[in-house]
Amino acid sequence: MSTAESATATEQGRRTPGLVPVAETMRTAQRHAPESSPPAERPASTGPARAFWRLLGSELGLTFRRPRNLVMLGVLAAVPVIIGVALRAFGSGEEGMGGIIQAVAGNSLMLTFVSFSFLVLLLMPVAVSVVGGDSIAGEAGAGTLRYLLAAPAGRTRLLVVKYLNAAVYGYAVTAVVALSALVTGLLLFPTGPVTLLSGTTISMGEGLVRIAISVGYIGTAMAALAAVALALSTFTEVSIGAIAATMVLLIVCQVLRAIPELSSITPYLLPTKFTNFDAVLRSPIDFRALGDGLLAFGAYIGLFGSIAWARFSGKDITS
Amino acid sequence: MTTVTQEAGAPFGAAPPSGGVSGDEAIVTQGLTKQFRGGQIAVDALDLAVPRGSVFGFLGPNGSGKTTTIRMLLGLVSPTSGAYSVLGLPQARALPKVGALVEGPAFYPYLSGEANLMRFDAADPTAPRASARRRIAESLERVGLSAAAGKRYRNYSLGMRQRLAIAAALLGPRELLILDEPTNGLDPQGTREVRALVKEIAADGTTVFVSSHLLAEVEQMCTHAAIMRTGKLVAQGTIASLNGGLVARVRVETPDTADAARVLGTLGLADVRPAGGEVTAELGGHAPETINAALVGEGVAVRGLAVVRPSLEDVFVGLTGEGFDVDG
């Protein structure tokens, strides 16, 4: 049965171009509604855009069903809970606490910002590096890359899908941290107007808006890091190598930032911009700092995206 | 098996494609060359012509450049020089019509067989999503994996993995199937199944290009073959024309080698060679029974008489002067 079916499919595919069967011309000439021809596999029904979303959907499905990636999200979600519980349990009794801790103890929304400042420089980048670094190298190492490209997924198309997937994971990581911190904060600490770093007080609603802005900003920061990880991922067939290289790069950046003599290059290092999200805690919001950061993220995405493309589009796939 | 005295030299069989592409070929390569960065030349000026509808055996010892050629045809590796054409179409339009198995199966171990096929189907921009489930079910059934469709790939046996890879190659309507060592790692039963499947697919009009280092396998299932050695094409053509380049020999077992050699000589057989206990000669157009009658008539004690037809292995040995590396 399957044999007969595929035989007819081949026949249809082999029709001489330019020659239209008589029955078909007559149908068109008579302007009859076409007889209910089966809506069989017409390649035209699958537009390139639809096919692109299908591949991206498949990619996201793999990423967000993979236990490893879910565990990382879970760990990141647990950190704000631990911070919140710790502050609640030990924070109130002792004297001489730092300002930020006092701020959290005083308002539930502040836990989100505190969690971000704990996680944004190390743990969140680790999670994003794992997904970004694994993206091409992981497929190459498993040998599935050759079958994806022979399908043919298309090199540029696959690279764009891989990048969007890693970027979405970056935003997801940020959103998960924010959500977990928000829920923990609301459960453990008093709600009400928020006192900012500059001493001004804003309403709770505006506080939530500012959290949303910081999520967008940090998510984009993670997307920029994902571009770096993706670029490194195109250079190796060992995903742990690409992941480690991304991490090493981040740590080197942190070290360079700590050396005062090198302060002239500090503004160009990616992690320098990660912590700019505290601009939302000023009054009014320091949009200039946010804009600076976003510009840097855009530049990193452009630069490392190009490196990834230049490397991947001409690479010999021998794995 | 007989020893062959054919001198290594000019390839025989069909001539390589001479310039013009007629459109009757599923695969054409012209001067296709790949030199890797280390300087090693994996494929050297390859001129290949695979006729549409053929089952084409791509033969060569391990490391002779078969897989690199296949990777170039699939756009995975870019040639250093030379040209190739698959189905006469630009690569992006040809590949959806090509099913491929390259260097063994590779899948996501944490996904089921079915989910794996869905993943690779999603990668093909011309594959309609609406019919994906049906096509996946059909190709799984075709390779006999329906029962294991929901099982994780991690838990598949080697034979099941190989069959899943063939199922992936059969996901859409294909005009060309490229199978790189499809029977590697299969037990004799699995090998027979793959061979039957290839014949069935070819009967539908699909061109099958199958690489192998097993000469006997290619002889059994192919209509055409090309032989590679250290990156160079040694010969190509129909199986018959490749075998036809070497002549059948008659082998006479006898204690009277001198008499037997004389009789064979008077009968007009060429290249008569007596050796301890037996005499061999080119059969030519002679009927074995008349040779036997002549020998007996001359009083030669014939203990055995056999016609030895050359195999592809003999062709290879004759062309290269080397044995075919059969391990691996």
What does the pLDDT look like over A188-215, one tens digit per residue? 988 888 888 777 888 889 999 999 999 9
Contact call for residues A149 and A317 (beta carbons, < 8 A)? yes
Please name the residue of chain A whose CA is at the shortest distance from the CA of residue B174: A10
Please name the residue of chain B whose CA is at the shortest distance from the CA of residue A161: B123
* Tokens matching residue A94: 């002792």
Q: Is A38 inside a domain boundary?
A: no
Q: Is A116 inside a domain boundary?
A: yes
* Tokens matching residue A157: 């198309």
Which among B114, B167, A230, B246 has a CA at the least distance from the CA of B237?
A: B246
Q: Is A274 inside a domain boundary?
A: yes
- For B244-247, the CB contacts below 8 A with 24+ separation are B245/B6, B245/B12, B245/B13, B245/B315, B245/B318, B246/B4, B246/B6, B246/B310, B246/B314, B246/B315, B246/B318, B247/B282, B247/B283, B247/B284, B247/B310
A24, pLDDT greater than 60: no
3-state secondary structure B117-149: HHHHHHHCCCCCHHHHHHHHHHHHHHCCCHHHC
Q: Is A63 inside a domain boundary?
A: yes
- For A14-18, the CB contacts below 8 A with 24+ separation are A14/B175
- pLDDT of B324 reads 62
Q: How many percent of chain A have pLDDT more than 70?
A: 81
Q: How far is A9 from chain B (nearest CA, A)?
A: 6
Contacts of residue B98 in chain A, CB cutoff 8 Å?
150
HSE-CB at B15 with a 13 A cutoff on CA atoms is: 3
Pick A54's closest partner by Cβ from B36, B110, B122. Answer: B122
Cα(B319)–Cα(B296) distance, rounded to whole angstroms? Answer: 36
Of A54 and B240, the structure prediction assigns the larger pLDDT to A54
pTM above 0.95, yes or no: no
Pairing of strands B176-180, B207-212: parallel
DSSP letter string, B5-35 = -PPS-S--BSPPP-S---S-EEEEEEEEEEE
Are B141 and A2 within 8 A, CB to CB? yes
Cα(B31)–Cα(B15) distance, rounded to whole angstroms? Answer: 14
Contact call for residues A170 and A219 (beta carbons, < 8 A)? yes
> How many CB pairs below 8 A link A and B?
123
Distances, alpha carbon A11 to alpha carbons A6, B89, B93, in Å = 9, 18, 18
Number of domains forming the structure of chain A: 1
Per-residue model confidence as pLDDT tens digits over A116-135? 999 999 999 999 999 999 99
B23 shares contact with chain A (CB less than 8 Å):
no
Cα A150 versus chain centre, distance: 26
Q: Is A186 inside a domain boundary?
A: yes
Pairing of strands B41-51, B81-86: unpaired
Specify the residue for token string 């069909």.
Answer: B14
- pLDDT of B313 reads 77
Are B92 and A154 within 8 A, CB to CB? yes
Cα A196 versus chain centre, distance: 29
Q: For the residues A273-297, what does the mean pLDDT come to?
A: 92
Q: How far is A137 from chain B (nearest CA, A)?
A: 14
Contacts of residue A153 in chain B, CB cutoff 8 Å?
123-125
Angle of helix A48-65 versus helix A155-188 axis, rounded to 10: 50
Contact call for residues B112 and B150 (beta carbons, < 8 A)? yes
Burial profile B91-115: b = 16 or more Cβ within 10 angstroms, e = fewer: beebbbbbbbbbbebbbbeebbbbb
- pLDDT of B15 reads 38
Are B204 and A6 within 8 A, CB to CB? yes
- Of the candidate ranges A149-158, B235-244, B266-275, B315-324, the one whose mean pLDDT is the lowest: B315-324
Contacts of residue B97 in chain A, CB cutoff 8 Å?
13
A255, pLDDT greater than 80: yes
Contact call for residues B62 and B230 (beta carbons, < 8 A)? no
Per-residue model confidence as pLDDT tens digits over A48-104? 899 999 999 999 999 999 999 999 999 999 999 999 998 888 765 555 455 666 666
Are B173 and A13 within 8 A, CB to CB? yes
- The 3-state DSSP class for residue B247 equals coil
- pLDDT of A30 reads 39
Are A43 and B126 within 8 A, CB to CB? yes
Q: What residues 40-79 of chain B have any CB closer than 8 A to a CB of chain A?
A: 71, 74-78
Residue type, A139: E
Which band of pLDDT confidence, cut at 50, 70 and 90, is reported for residue A38? very low
Cis peptide before A152 (omega within 30 of 0): yes
Specify the residue for token string 């189905």.
Answer: B87
DSSP letter string, chain A = -HHHHHHHHHHHHTPPTT---HHHHHHHHTTPPPP-------GGGS-HHHHHHHHHHHHHHHHHH-HHHHHHHHHHHHHHHHHHHHHHHHTTT-SS--HHHHHHHH-TTHHHHHHHHHHTTTHHHHHHHHHHHHHHHHHHHHTHHHHHHHTT--HHHHHHHHHHHHHHHHHHHHHHHHHHHHHHHHHHS--S-EE-TTS-EE-HHHHHHHHHHHHHHHHHHHHHHHHHHHHHHTT-S-HHHHHHHHHHHHHHHHHHHH-GGGTTTGGGSHHHHHGGGGGGGSSS--HHHHHHHHHHHHHHHHHHHHHHHHHHHT-----
B97 shares contact with chain A (CB less than 8 Å):
yes
Which band of pLDDT confidence, cut at 50, 70 and 90, is reported for residue B273? confident
Q: Is A289 inside a domain boundary?
A: yes
* Tokens matching residue B300: 């030669």
Most confident of A162-176, B19-33, B55-69: A162-176
Per-residue model confidence as pLDDT tens digits over B98-157? 999 999 999 999 999 999 999 999 999 999 999 999 999 999 999 889 999 999 999 999
Contacts of residue B111 in chain A, CB cutoff 8 Å?
62
Angle of helix A67-90 versus helix A123-142 axis, rounded to 10: 170
Q: Which domain holds residue A230?
A: 48-313
Q: What residues 134-153 of chain B have any CB closer than 8 A to a CB of chain A?
A: 138, 141-142
Element (H, E) at B262: helix B257-267
- pLDDT of A89 reads 81
- pLDDT of A100 reads 62
Pick A149's closest partner by Cβ from B75, B173, B200. Answer: B75
Are B127 and A58 within 8 A, CB to CB? no
Cβ contacts of residue B200 below 8 Å, gap of 6+?
Answer: A3
Are B100 and A150 within 8 A, CB to CB? yes
Contacts of residue A14 in chain B, CB cutoff 8 Å?
175
Mean pLDDT computed over every residue of chain B: 85
Q: Is A319 inside a domain boundary?
A: no
Cα(A214)–Cα(B150) distance, rounded to whole angstroms? Answer: 43
**β-bridge partners, A247:** none
Helix ranges (DSSP H) in B48-187: 66-73, 91-94, 113-123, 132-142, 158-169
Contact call for residues B181 and B103 (beta carbons, < 8 A)? yes
Contacts of residue B142 in chain A, CB cutoff 8 Å?
2
Pick B204's closest partner by Cβ from A10, A148, A149. Answer: A10
- The 3-state DSSP class for residue B211 equals strand
Chosen from A16, A45, A147 to mutate, greatest number of chain B CBs within 10 A:
A147
